[in-house]
Structure 1
């Protein structure tokens, strides 16, 4: 079972090596990189490329590790006991399986995505160490052990908002998705917009990289943002000549797709003012 990329996802050689190494070692693949560089999409494309189902667990700041295993609804059981409901007699009626449980009991191998693990508190990764290592966990309410029928391919993404524990990192295969260079980004755009005018593509990417390299920029636009921007340029049939020149001399056309805070907008306005003077 090897991942060779897909027609709709441009994966460089190092990324494919990382995916296949994690599969061979049967370890979670921890993927870091700038927001918008395709970390989440990687899991979807690995599932598509290998013909496997995908189970997504999207992590929030309030997410607890236990929710990935199962949740026990003690309040509903208490209410049913007071109402004399027959379902009260079977405690399994009040246990809701989580995403890990779902992946473990699947009859075929799946891809399990744990997305943006760094959003949760610092103890979250540690609370999943044994479960991801042994591929099993114990259900205290029923006294049963849930074991993986088929070891899932686990892909974990992080935007590097906080450091992950060393014990957790030791159990993962790590890969950092670097921001694509001009040539790679061109291939990515051509996958999403086949038949795009070469002049427009060249002018748009030149302008985009000039924006990313502007000193003082608070948030550099990412791959997903340049794709949104180019989608607008194509839809509006923008003349490539309007995008040429020094991007620092004025706000780029349809800049709302690229610049996502007022500080960066003001930066370009100041640069434009200084250029006019």
Structure 2
């Protein structure tokens, strides 16, 4: 069972090594990287490459670790008891399985994505230590212990919004997805837009990396934003010359796909003004 590049995802050699090492060690794979570098998509592609079902748990600021195990609906049980419903005699009727329980109870091995774990409270990762380590947990309301039939492949993503606890990090295999270099990004673009002309691709990527490397930029455009921008360039049927005529510091064509705040737009407007004054 080895992860490799799929028809819709370009995986670098170090990423493939990291995924396969985590699978071999039976450790969660903790993936960090800039937003938009394909961390969430990685879990989907690992599932596709390994031929396994995918269970996705998208973490929010209000998410509690307990929700990944199960939730007991005491309110519904109280209401049913007042209505004389026979279901109240069976506690299991009021237990809602969380994503971890679903992964543990699956008939075969699955890929479990815990997406953006750093959005939750700082105690969230610690609250999952034992469950991810032992692959079991206890349901106090019913007295049963839920054990994983087969250890899932666990992929955890983080955008580095919060530092994760050391005890949690010790239990993970870590990989940082670096921003792709021009050659890798070109391969990603060709995968999504196979008919793109090489001259346009070269001009667009040159312009894109000029923008990313502009000093003072508050938010650098990501891989997903590069793909959006290329899609618009193709839709508008722009030529390589159209991109080259802009000049290094001018606002790029269709800049709304790349620049996502007013400070960065104003930065390029100032740079363009200064460039005109030097002519």
What do the CA deviations read for 1:32-66 (whole angstroms, capped 9, x no partner)?
00000000000000000011000000000000000
SS of aligned partner of 2:191: helix
Shift of 1:249: 2.8
Is the 1:248–1:271 Cα contact (8 Å) retained in structure 2?
Answer: no
1:272 and 2:277 are equivalent in the alignment: no
Structure 2 Cα separation of the partners of residues 210 and 144 of structure 1:
58
Structure 1 Cα separation of the partners of residues 259 and 195 of structure 2:
26
Is the 1:226–1:258 Cα contact (8 Å) retained in structure 2?
Answer: yes
Equivalent in the alignment of 2:241: 241
Please give the TM-score of this superposition, normalised by the length of structure 1.
Answer: 0.99
Question: How many residues align structurally?
Answer: 277
Is the 2:207–2:248 Cα contact (8 Å) retained in structure 1?
Answer: no
SS of aligned partner of 1:102: helix
Shift of 1:236: 1.1
Is the 1:211–1:247 Cα contact (8 Å) retained in structure 2?
Answer: no
Is the 1:210–1:246 Cα contact (8 Å) retained in structure 2?
Answer: no
1:93 and 2:74 are equivalent in the alignment: no
Shift of 1:262: 0.5
Shift of 1:276: 1.1
Tell me the C-alpha RMSD between the 2 structures. Answer: 0.8
SS of aligned partner of 1:249: coil
Unaligned runs of 5+ in 1: none
Structure 1: which 4+ aligned runs deviate by more than 4 Å?
none
SS of aligned partner of 1:112: strand
Which piece of structure 1 moves more, 216-225 or 77-86? 77-86
Unaligned runs of 5+ in 2: none
What do the CA deviations read for 1:84-108 (whole angstroms, capped 9, x no partner)?
1111111111110000000000001
Equivalent in the alignment of 2:182: 182
Equivalent in the alignment of 1:128: 128
Equivalent in the alignment of 2:20: 20
Shift of 1:246: 6.7
Is the 1:70–1:95 Cα contact (8 Å) retained in structure 2?
Answer: yes
Please give the TM-score of this superposition, normalised by the length of structure 2.
Answer: 0.98
Equivalent in the alignment of 1:60: 60
Equivalent in the alignment of 2:114: 114
Structure 2 Cα separation of the partners of residues 66 and 243 of structure 1:
51
Equivalent in the alignment of 1:141: 141
Structure 2 Cα separation of the partners of residues 191 and 269 of structure 1:
33
Structure 2 Cα separation of the partners of residues 124 and 249 of structure 1:
44
